[in-house]
Every structure is written in structure tokens, then in C-alpha cells.
């Protein structure tokens, strides 16, 4: 490390390296205080606050051939953050986006709470720090050119990866990087003002798109780690069951089998190929100990949730009121790349590769499980094939480490699809009771009681909320889950006295945040009630939302979809439009869909018009991609995709049974309008689901006359379950 | 063990493996061809979709013996050197991929569709059953239509 430079408490260190490598370090600024009133503090604000002490600990390097390398302490799982961050760096440094390489940092324990990818928070949390780091690097390159040319830095400019002098002389960043690395003077830098942005705010294709369409993209299982052979695990017949006895005599003799070991989660089999490992796993004779929910089936879960739903405050006696009750099934995250990890555990050290959204907690937990000091465990974050919340959990990485330790070999662990659906994570089932009272055309009260199977947040979020406890916007002795609930879910309408309460039922199943955590179900159900309230009050659904929404920004997205989607146009019998709205993480969106529900058992969304205001879109093309994904998730979970739980295990075991949407379920017409920049970046990753859930359910109700109350709407067991 | 000889992306290969070993594991684990992805192993997600003598197959349910003497094409063999196939070009123009994991299979399925049906209708495109868990279907549809026009 060499001399620190200061800009209002923002320290830049030069790493001792032959080329310019800027590491920024602890900010000396006071922690920002949270916005007031407290009700506008969302989970993202808390994540940012917890990450603030280490927010600027970023590393950027300029190579002699002019490439800018930036290490991002987050996980890329398809959401496009590496592209957006490359754009931020390119903007500040005046280099083409194609000259920026963003890689994913290994687990860096010193980042504390600043290496968790969740809460739609990446762009919100790195927007300032990335720009400041890149601006510092640019300033050093300019200073190096100024020194060489005996010019004033202020007279020089940067363009296309070069420093340019007024007389036309140019020097590339690659040529300047060695000199810039030797500068010891104090250099100040300011990120560009937003009016100067030329790259940020324009549509940029993904930086890794070419690798993806040519088959060159490398996911965990595509890595060649020496000696790491294909491994799968035979899993119990019920969730959290454990091995009692194993007879591996047949399996051992099968072609290609290398090793077999019992681990806490089942029996691991390693073979020359995954096909052979799977065949040998199936040939094992195993008896099992009971799991944690062996007798539990959907009907019991429903009954428990109903019993746990807290009562309303307002009695229905004196005013006109409307009640609604809703049920949502468990939903698998089902990322297309199944849970997977590579582990190489030795006596004195371990190395792990996996798609991880909470790699620091993973590193700590794996070190403890292996009995190794944390410093001896290296955790590499690989790009993931989808997540939707799933990769907040590091169960595959931990399991791979345990297998590697037991087998004394490097391990390439893959969960089968059946494993992933039955023993993987799922969005918790939930039950909802909503009551609204009204008089004289006005909503007086709006109460929502949610009962949900406990959502597992044991991936570092608890520690983050504890660290920010003093800033929590909610008082009293609320549970951790209630805190997450109240910092993510809010009613965006002026509905008089509004109360939303969550009560959780602890069941020892594998749950986890699923894109938009509580909002998809909670806000989805509310959007249905908003339509039903509008009908009671004799108002049009769009007009009613318009007059009760709280801000102009919210009304603008609603107006946009109403106009672009020709709200109110006449549709043939069996067809209908539906609308939904959602506001979260400083962003808002409206969704208008058209549905063909001539066959109520087989409805199809045929058109969707979405408007989205994310405050400041970094990459509108990426924002649209996120909204499209949210729409497809909403189509799937509202209409056909869910898990049936029977006797302690989901019945669904593959995509032929868990009906995530296919092309035939997806609308042939989609329009997504991104509103112009008007402030700081808000969240986008999870935003798209809840409004679309509401729109789809409302279109279904209008097309069929059937009030949707249980989701997914069409949910038979239309398959023969795989053997347990 | 029997020996099977076939070509993968134009190069002759031979492997000593049991006749019923699924081609997916021969490609990925024996030959190091990582483009075709595993998503289910039973022919329903179609992430592994590749071509056998130009026709669409799911290598996870295609025994290696079926490939003997034939030409296997995976996503890696679609481009002509640095020159992308028009379907790959269309995928880039629409910025289809999100996590990208399904896209080798989606592209191979689209190429097969366009071979059978050079100007596919929406109903033809609806018949592609490949799962995209990131939900990129609309962009896939647009890309197929654009590619059809170019080809
Ligand atoms: S892995 Fe071949 S179809 Fe799913
Ligand atoms: S892009 Fe992620 S599964 Fe299709």
C-alpha cells in the first residue's frame, strides 16, 4: 500500500503493483442517517447502511494493454449487474464498455456485510462507490500524463481509453498505467455529474452475451478443477431425513464408480461420469431415519396457516366491508442450473467454487464445519445459472466440502433436478386475510393478515439487521421476519388506516426468499382486493388506483400502461384485461395484461404492457429483461407452477411436473416502457413480480367471473410422482 | 467396453463407454464439451439440446450407441469460426440471455425449428418446449422471427 489520497473522507490506496491498481478503503465519513419518516426505510436502505463501512473497499486495475479490471463483491446470476457495473466504470473512465472486465470477487471476510446479493440491492449499493473508485483511477491516469507532458491535469481530458492534451497529443491508459502506479501525490477526483452521462442510461447488451450464445460461458460444473470428479447424493425419502444403514455392495461394483461416502445429508457417490454416479446412487440400498416433517401434507399446512392468521382490528359490524382470503402454494426456485459446487478439501486448507450470494457466511460456516481457520478456506464465486433467491444458501458448497473431506478427494457435486425440487429451497406457502371497510366512496381501513411458513433467512441477513437495529423503522419487539416483512411490503394507496401483519409458522422445511420475498403473494393478493373494492365502489380499476395512489411518479406508470395498453378496450367473450401496481425499493411499476380465458382451466396471457420507474435506469435494456423475467414468474406462479407437499416431501421432481411457464404460456406481445431518469437508482430485480401477479389474477377474474383465491389457479397433480 | 466413433462439431472422436451411457455425459465428462447443459436428465428441460445429423436431440436421453457413425453438433459447433450463425446473431441483437444457462439449448432448438419451418408462426414457436427459468421467452420469440427473416 502506498499513499492514501483523500476526498471528503474517501480514501484511495494505491496497491503496490507494477500497474495502476486502486483500492479504496474505509470511508471516514459519518454513516449516513436514514431517510425520514421511518416508513420509507426499506430493506435495501438497511442493507446499504450495514454495508456502508466497507462500501468503498473496491479494487480496480488498469492493465498495460488498457483493459480495466474491476472486482465486484456480488454474485451474477443473470440479473445483469456485471454489465451495469462495466457501464458505470466505462462512464467514469471514458473507456469503451468492451474494455472493462468485471469479475466476481472471492469471499472477502473484511467486507463484513457488504458481500450479500439480495434485496434488489446491487445497483443501489454500488452506484456511488463504483463511480468514485473509477473516478479516482481516471484522475491518476490523467495526473500521470500531466507529469510526462509537464502539463496541468486540468487542461487534459480523457477519451476512448486515452488521455488527450489540447495540442492533440494522446497517451493510452495502457501506456500510462505503470507511471500512474508510481505517483505518490495526493489526487482528488469527483465522479461525473449525471448530466454528463453518455453511457449510463443507454441500452447496453450484456457483456457476456457472446460467451452465452456460443456455449463458452463457464458455470460451476463446467470448470475443470484437477481431480474433481462427478458426484451426486442419494437423498432421503422425506425432508431432512438421515442415513440409518447403507448397503453399497451393488453400487460399488458398477462401472465408473470411484468412491462412496455417508454425509449428513445422504450418501455421496463419485464416478467417472455423472451418468454413472446417478446410476450407482440409485442402486444403493439405504434405510433412513425420520426427517423433520414426515407426516406433513398440504392440508395440514393450510390448517396451520389459517390458525396462525392474526385477527383483524376492525370489526365488520358498523361499516360496509369486503373480505378476502387467499392461499399460495410452495414454489420451487428451480434455477435451471441445479444446485452445484466444487470443493477441494485438504488437511490444512480448502478451496470452494460455487454460485454464491452470501459467500462470506458460506466461508465462515464451511471453515467451522471442516474445523479449519477461516483464512484457510478460499471461496470463489462463480457465475450462476439463475437464482431467484436460491443462491443465498450455500448448502451445495457445504455439502461438497463435507463430501470432499470424507472422500479425501476433490469433488464436483451436482444435485439432480429431483434433488433440487424436493430437497432444495422453496418459497413458503402463505395464507392471507384482507378486510377493507368503506363509506361514501372512500376506503376507511385496509387490513391484511399474512400467515406464512417460516422463511429461512440464515444467510447473513439476521446479522445485518442486528447490526442496523438502531435504525430499524419498526418499533417494539418484532421478530426478524416481521422486520423483513415491514421493510419490504407496503400498501401504496391512501386507504385510511392501513395495517399489515405477518405471523410465521415454524416448520422445519427448506424455505427461502423467492424473488420479491413476501411481496409477490402479499401485494398480489392486495391488488386483487383493490379491484374488488373498486367494483364495490362502482369505480373503474385504473381510475380507482389513480385517485388513491400517493405520488405522481406512481400515477405516471399507471397512466403509461393504461394509455399504451388501451385500457378499457372491448374484448371478446372469455378475454379480459387486468391491471396491477407495485412500489418497492424506491421503484414502482404498473402492469396491464390481456388474457384469453375462454377455457378457465387453461388461461393464457396473450399480451403484457409494463411501465417501470426505477429512478435512474443504468441499463434500460437490462431493466426490461428483469421486468420480463418478473412477468414470466408471475404468469407461472399465478396460473400453474407450485409444489404439492405430501408426507414430508414435495411431489414435484422435474419441469414436467412443476409447471414453470414455457413458450406456449408466454405472451407473444410484450411492451416494456422504462420511465426517464428522475433520481437515484432504485431496485429492479424483484419489482416485476407483484404487479404482474395482480394484473394476471384480475384479468382472470374479469374474463371468467371466477374470483381467484388459491394459487396457482390450475394446480392438479397431473403426473405420476417419481419414487422417493 | 464397446468403442463408439462419431464426429463432434466436425471432429472425429472415439470413446470406450457402455452402449447405454447418455450422450450428454460422454460429451461433458469424457470429451470436455461443456456447451450442452444438464437441467433434468429426462428430456424435459431441453437445456442439453443438440443436433444429430442435423436433427434435434436431447443428449441426456440419447444413448451413445445411437450416435455411432453420425455427426453430433453442439452449440460450440454452430458458428463458422468467428462468424456466428444467424440465430446466434439474432440472439445478440435481442439481448436474449439472462443467466444464459438455457440458451445453448434454446438456440439449438431454434435452429432445428428454422430448418424444418423457415418462416415459423407464433404457433410454431409455441411448440418449442425448452424451459427458460429466467423467463426470456418473449425475446426468444423475437429473435427467432428476426433470424427467420435473415436466413
Ligand atoms: S438435461 Fe436434457 S432435457 Fe433436461
Ligand atoms: S436465461 Fe436463465 S434459464 Fe434461460
The verdict on A361 and A456 lying in the same domain is: no
CB contact under 8 A, A274 and B26: no
The verdict on B135 and B96 lying in the same domain is: yes
Confidence of residue A17 (pLDDT cuts 50, 70, 90): confident
In the prediction, which pLDDT does A44 show? 75
Confidence of residue A32 (pLDDT cuts 50, 70, 90): very low
| Alpha-carbon dihedral A705, A703, A717, A266, rounded to 10 degrees | -110
Residue B27: Cβ within 10 Å count = 27
**Lowest-confidence segment of A249-253, A485-489, B133-137 by average pLDDT:** A485-489
**Mutation test of the interface with chain B: which of A663, A671, A722, choosing the one with the most B Cβ atoms within 10 A?**
A663
Q: Is the pLDDT of residue A318 over 90?
A: no
% pLDDT > 70, chain A: 92
CB contact under 8 A, B97 and A213: yes
**Pocket of ligand 1 contains residue B72 by CB under 6 Å:** no
Confirm if A549 and A560 have CB atoms less than 8 A apart: no
Overall number of domains in chain B: 2
What are the strands, taking DSSP E only, across A45-193?
59-62, 68-72, 100-104, 157-159, 162-164, 170-172
Confirm if A620 and A203 have CB atoms less than 8 A apart: yes
User: Residue B7: phi, psi to the nearest 5?
Assistant: -115, 145
Confidence of residue A476 (pLDDT cuts 50, 70, 90): low
The verdict on A397 and A435 lying in the same domain is: no
Grid cell digits, residue A714:
390450475
In the prediction, which pLDDT does A120 show? 84
* CA atoms of A148 and A158, how far apart (whole Å): 15
The verdict on A354 and A386 lying in the same domain is: yes
Indicate whether A173 belongs to any domain. yes
Indicate whether A312 belongs to any domain. no
Residue B135, domain extent = 86-150
Output DSSP code: residue A162.
E
Indicate whether A244 belongs to any domain. yes
In the prediction, which pLDDT does A475 show? 57
> How would DSSP label each residue in A593-656?
EEEE-SSTTS-EEEEEEEEEE-SS-S-HHHHHHHHHHHHHHHHHHHHT--B-EETTEES--STT
Q: What is the CA radius of gyration of chain A?
A: 27
In the block, cell 472422436 appears at B13
**Mutation test of the interface with chain B: which of A214, A230, A281, A718, choosing the one with the most B Cβ atoms within 10 A?**
A214
CATH code of A409's domain: 3.30.365.10
Average pLDDT score over residue span A644-668: 98
The verdict on A354 and A380 lying in the same domain is: yes
Which of B77, B98, B122 terminates a domain? The answer is: B77
The verdict on B53 and B118 lying in the same domain is: no
The verdict on B42 and B69 lying in the same domain is: yes
The verdict on A375 and A446 lying in the same domain is: no
The verdict on B63 and B91 lying in the same domain is: no
The verdict on B51 and B94 lying in the same domain is: no
The verdict on A206 and A130 lying in the same domain is: yes
Residues 115-134 of chain A with CB under 8 A from chain B are: none
Cα angle: A41, vertex A47, A49; to 5 degrees: 75
Which of B34, B55, B77 terminates a domain? The answer is: B77
- B105 has a chain A CB within 8 A of its CB: no
Indicate whether A683 belongs to any domain. yes
In the block, cell 426490461 appears at A624
CB contact under 8 A, B101 and A77: no
Which of A178, A197, A214 terminates a domain? The answer is: A214
Indicate whether A43 belongs to any domain. yes
CATH code of B126's domain: 1.10.150.120
Confidence of residue A6 (pLDDT cuts 50, 70, 90): very low
Residue A191, domain extent = 7-214
* CA atoms of A639 and A601, how far apart (whole Å): 9
To test ligand 2's pocket by mutation, which of B103, B109, B110 has the most ligand atoms within 8 angstroms of CB? B103
Overall number of domains in chain A: 3
Grid cell digits, residue A403:
463430501
CATH code of B58's domain: 3.10.20.30
Indicate whether A636 belongs to any domain. yes
Average pLDDT score over residue span B12-22: 96
Mean confidence (pLDDT) of chain A: 91
Q: Is the pLDDT of residue A10 over 50?
A: no
Residues 23-82 of chain B with CB under 8 A from chain A are: 24-26, 28-30, 32, 34-42, 44-45, 47, 74-76, 78-79
The verdict on B111 and B64 lying in the same domain is: no
Question: Chain A residues with CB inside 8 Å of B92's CB?
Answer: 205, 209-210, 213
Confirm if A587 and A683 have CB atoms less than 8 A apart: yes
Indicate whether A548 belongs to any domain. yes
Residue A221 CA: which ligand is closest? 1
Which of A414, A436, A456 terminates a domain? The answer is: A414
Residue B54: Cβ within 10 Å count = 11
In the prediction, which pLDDT does A37 show? 36
Mean confidence (pLDDT) of chain B: 97
Question: Chain A residues with CB inside 8 Å of B74's CB?
Answer: 215
In the prediction, which pLDDT does A109 show? 81
ipTM above 0.90, yes or no: yes
In the prediction, which pLDDT does A577 show? 98
The verdict on A247 and A358 lying in the same domain is: yes
Which of A368, A392, A414 terminates a domain? The answer is: A414
% pLDDT > 90, chain A: 78
In the prediction, which pLDDT does A25 show? 57
Which of B48, B77, B106 terminates a domain? The answer is: B77
The verdict on A112 and A196 lying in the same domain is: yes
* CA atoms of A682 and A627, how far apart (whole Å): 14
Output DSSP code: residue A309.
P
* CA atoms of B103 and A641, how far apart (whole Å): 22
**Mutation test of the interface with chain A: which of B25, B45, B135, B146, choosing the one with the most A Cβ atoms within 10 A?**
B135
Indicate whether A676 belongs to any domain. yes
Least CB–CB distance from A215: residue in B24, B76, B98: B76
Amino acid at each position: 500500500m502506498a499513499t492514501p489520497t483523500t476526498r471528503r473522507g474517501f480514501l484511495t490506496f494505491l496497491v503496490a503493483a507494477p500497474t495502476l491498481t486502486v483500492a479504496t478503503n474505509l470511508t471516514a465519513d459519518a454513516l449516513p442517517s436514514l431517510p425520514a419518516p421511518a416508513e420509507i426505510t426499506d430493506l435495501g436502505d438497511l442493507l446499504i447502511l450495514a454495508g456502508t463501512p466497507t462500501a468503498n473497499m473496491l479494487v480496480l486495475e488498469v492493465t498495460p494493454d488498457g483493459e480495466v479490471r474491476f472486482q465486484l463483491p456480488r454474485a451474477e446470476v443473470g440479473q445483469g449487474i456485471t454489465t451495469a457495473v462495466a457501464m458505470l466504470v466505462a462512464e467514469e473512465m471514458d473507456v469503451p464498455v468492451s474494455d472493462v472486465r468485471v469479475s466476481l470477487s472471492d469471499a472477502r471476510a473484511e467486507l463484513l456485510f457488504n458481500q450479500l446479493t439480495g434485496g434488489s440491492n446491487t445497483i443501489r449499493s454500488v452506484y456511488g462507490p463504483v463511480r468514485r473508485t473509477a473516478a479516482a483511477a481516471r484522475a491518476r491516469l490523467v495526473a500521470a500524463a500531466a507529469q510526462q507532458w509537464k502539463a496541468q491535469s486540468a487542461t487534459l481530458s480523457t477519451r476512448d481509453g486515452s488521455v488527450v492534451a489540447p495540442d492533440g497529443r494522446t497517451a493510452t491508459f495502457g501506456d500510462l498505467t505503470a507511471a500512474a502506479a508510481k505517483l505518490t501525490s495526493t489526487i482528488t477526483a469527483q465522479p461525473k455529474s449525471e448530466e454528463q452521462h453518455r453511457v449510463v442510461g443507454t441500452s447496453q447488451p450484456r457483456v457476456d452475451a457472446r460467451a452465452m450464445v456460443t456455449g463458452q460461458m463457464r458455470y460451476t460444473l463446467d470448470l475443470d478443477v484437477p481431480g474433481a470428479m462427478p458426484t451426486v447424493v442419494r437423498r432421503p425419502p422425506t425432508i431432512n431425513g438421515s442415513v440409518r444403514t447403507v448397503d453399497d455392495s451393488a453400487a460399488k461394483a458398477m462401472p465408473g464408480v470411484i468412491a462412496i461416502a455417508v454425509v449428513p445429508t445422504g450418501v455421496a457417490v463419485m464416478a467417472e461420469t455423472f451418468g454413472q454416479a446417478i446410476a450407482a446412487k440409485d442402486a444403493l440400498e439405504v434405510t433412513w431415519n425420520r426427517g423433520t416433517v414426515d407426516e406433513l401434507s398440504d392440508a395440514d399446512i393450510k390448517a396451520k396457516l389459517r390458525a396462525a392468521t392474526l385477527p383483524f382490528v376492525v370489526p365488520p359490524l358498523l361499516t360496509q366491508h369486503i373480505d378476502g382470503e387467499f392461499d399460495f402454494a410452495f414454489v420451487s426456485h428451480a434455477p435451471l442450473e441445479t444446485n452445484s459446487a466444487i470443493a477441494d478439501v485438504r488437511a490444512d486448507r480448502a478451496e470452494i467454487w460455487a454460485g454464491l450470494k452470501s459467500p462470506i457466511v458460506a466461508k465462515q460456516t464451511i471453515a467451522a464445519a471442516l474445523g479449519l481457520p477461516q483464512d484457510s478456506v478460499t471461496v470463489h464465486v462463480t457465475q450462476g445459472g439463475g437464482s431467484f433467491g436460491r443462491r443465498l444458501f450455500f448448502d451445495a458448497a457445504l455439502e461438497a466440502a463435507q463430501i470432499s473431506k470424507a472422500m479425501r478427494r476433490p469433488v464436483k457435486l451436482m444435485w439432480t433436478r429431483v434433488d433440487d425440487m424436493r430437497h432444495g429451497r422453496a418459497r413458503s406457502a402463505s395464507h392471507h386475510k384482507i378486510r377493507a371497510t368503506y363509506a361514501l366512496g372512500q376506503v376507511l381501513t385496509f387490513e391484511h393478515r399474512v400467515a406464512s411458513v417460516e422463511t429461512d433467512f440464515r444467510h447473513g441477513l439476521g446479522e445485518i439487521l442486528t447490526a442496523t437495529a438502531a435504525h430499524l423503522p419498526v418499533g417494539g419487539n418484532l421478530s426478524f421476519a416481521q422486520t423483513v416483512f415491514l421493510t419490504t411490503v407496503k400498501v401504496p394507496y391512501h386507504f385510511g388506516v392501513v395495517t399489515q401483519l405477518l405471523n410465521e409458522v415454524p416448520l422445519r422445511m427448506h424455505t427461502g426468499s423467492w424473488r420479491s420475498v413476501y411481496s409477490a403473494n402479499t401485494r398480489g393478493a392486495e391488488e386483487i382486493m383493490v379491484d374488488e373494492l373498486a367494483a364495490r365502489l362502482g369505480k373503474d380499476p385504473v381510475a380507482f388506483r389513480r385517485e388513491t395512489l400517493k405520488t405522481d411518479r406512481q400515477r405516471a406508470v399507471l397512466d403509461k400502461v393504461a394509455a399504451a395498453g388501451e385500457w378499457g378496450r372491448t374484448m371478446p367473450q372469455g378475454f379480459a384485461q387486468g391491471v396491477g401496481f407495485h412500489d418497492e425499493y424506491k421503484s414502482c411499476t404498473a402492469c396491464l395484461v390481456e388474457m384469453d380465458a375462454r377455457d378457465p382451466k387453461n388461461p393464457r396471457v396473450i399480451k403484457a404492457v409494463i411501465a417501470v420507474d426505477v429512478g435512474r435506469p443504468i441499463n434500460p435494456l437490462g431493466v426490461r429483461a428483469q421486468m420480463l423475467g418478473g412477468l414470466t414468474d408471475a404468469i407461472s406462479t399465478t396460473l400453474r407452477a407450485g409444489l404439492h407437499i405430501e408426507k414430508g416431501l414435495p411431489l414435484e421432481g422435474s419441469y414436467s411436473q412443476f409447471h414453470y411457464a414455457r413458450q406456449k404460456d408466454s405472451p407473444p406481445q410484450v411492451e416494456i416502457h422504462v420511465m426517464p431518469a428522475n433520481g437515484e437508482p432504485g431496485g429492479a430485480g424483484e419489482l416485476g413480480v407483484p404487479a404482474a401477479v395482480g394484473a394476471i389474477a384480475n384479468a382472470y377474474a374479469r374474463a371468467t367471473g371466477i374470483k381467484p383465491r388459491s394459487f396457482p389457479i390450475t394446480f392438479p397433480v397431473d403426473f405420476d410422482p417419481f419414487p422417493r | 467396453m464397446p468403442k463408439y466413433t462419431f464426429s463432434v462439431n466436425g471432429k472425429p472422436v472415439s470413446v470406450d463407454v457402455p452402449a447405454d451411457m447418455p450422450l450428454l455425459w460422454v460429451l461433458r465428462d469424457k470429451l470436455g464439451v461443456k456447451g450442452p447443459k444438464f437441467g433434468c436428465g429426462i428430456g424435459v428441460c431441453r437445456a442439453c439440446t443438440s443436433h444429430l445429423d442435423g436433427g434435434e436431440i436431447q443428449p441426456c436421453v440419447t444413448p451413445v450407441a445411437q450416435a455411432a457413425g453420425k455427426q453430433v453438433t453442439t452449440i460450440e459447433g454452430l458458428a463458422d469460426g468467428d462468424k456466428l450463425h444467424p440465430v446466434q446473431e439474432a440472439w445478440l441483437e435481442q439481448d436474449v440471455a439472462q443467466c444464459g444457462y438455457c440458451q445453448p439449448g434454446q438456440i439449438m432448438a431454434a435452429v432445428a425449428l428454422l430448418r424444418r419451418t423457415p418462416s415459423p408462426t407464433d404457433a410454431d414457436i409455441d411448440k418449442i418446449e425448452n424451459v427458460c427459468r429466467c423467463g426470456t421467452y418473449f425475446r426468444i420469440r423475437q429473435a427467432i422471427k428476426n433470424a427467420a427473416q435473415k436466413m
